[in-house]
């Protein structure tokens, strides 16, 4: 939908060349007793002092295709986990 305002690929390239992008938002790494975790910029706790409940992370691993904002390094793999409720 957002690309429909461009009449051609040339117009899109021109916009990309002239756009001011601003500072990149990078994931934030958190160390916990359960291992490392990345918080993505859209995570509700991204800009907060983190006092995260890391118990029960294995129960919060998300299935493929689910939206996520946290990645947990567990058993050698980065796994998406849900936010504790």
**pTM, entire model:** 0.70
Distance CA 60, CA 79 (A): 10
**85 pLDDT tier (thresholds 50, 70, 90):** low
User: 60 versus 1: which is more confidently predicted?
Assistant: 60
The DSSP call for residue 48 is S
Query: Distance of CA 3 to CAs 15, 23, 80, Å?
Result: 11, 22, 29
Distance CA 57, CA 79 (A): 10
Using a pLDDT cut of 70, give the percent of the chain over it: 96
Domain boundaries defined on the chain: 23-81
pLDDT value at 55 more than 70: yes
The DSSP call for residue 61 is B
Distance CA 78, CA 74 (A): 6
pLDDT in tens, 15-25: 999 988 889 89
The DSSP call for residue 7 is S
């Amino acid at each position: 939908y957002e690309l429909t305002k461009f009449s051609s690929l040339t117009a899109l390239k021109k916009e990309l060349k002239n756009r001011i992008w601003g500072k990149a938002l990078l994931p934030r790494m958190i160390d916990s007793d359960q291992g490392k975790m990345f918080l993505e910029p859209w995570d509700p706790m991204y800009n907060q002092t983190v006092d995260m409940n890391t118990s029960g992370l294995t129960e919060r691993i998300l299935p493929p295709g689910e939206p996520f904002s946290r990645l947990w390094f567990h058993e050698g793999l980065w796994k998406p986990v849900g936010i504790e409720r």
